[in-house]
Amino acid sequence: MRRYLERYCDDAETVTRLLDDLQSRGWLSESRLADQVIRSRRARASAGRIRHEMARRGISDDVIAQSTAGLDGGDLDCALALWRNRFRAPPTERLQHERQLRFLLNRGFSLAIALKVLRAAGANEE
């Protein structure tokens, strides 16, 4: 928020006072921002990718750790739902397998999770 406001105001002290005032009123909150990032990204990204997004936005490490506790456990379900929504059918040839694997890896899922999803998709078809 600071970087955004500093583009429109040359006085850093004014920006600091404004941010302090907004935070004291409860209108700015790192924990609410963290919750919003989780809600908006969870259906499309891994827990690691969400943590990276939060860090990029400047959320403190303590808030990131607290808000994403337990999020790793749902990575397999999230990846499987994402894969089903995108592909709906298991790969039948090597190029399709690599494409689907790359899709999951690019969303931040680990190789182990991506391979489990593809194995589960193949087992469900049989």
Q: What is the pLDDT of residues 22-35, one digit of tens each?
A: 888 888 888 899 99
pLDDT in tens, 15-61: 899 988 988 888 888 889 999 999 999 988 999 999 999 999 889 99
Tell me if 1 sits within 8 A of 28, measured CB to CB.
yes
Average pLDDT, the chain: 89
pTM tops 0.85, yes or no: no
Integer Cα distance of 33 and 56 in angstroms: 12
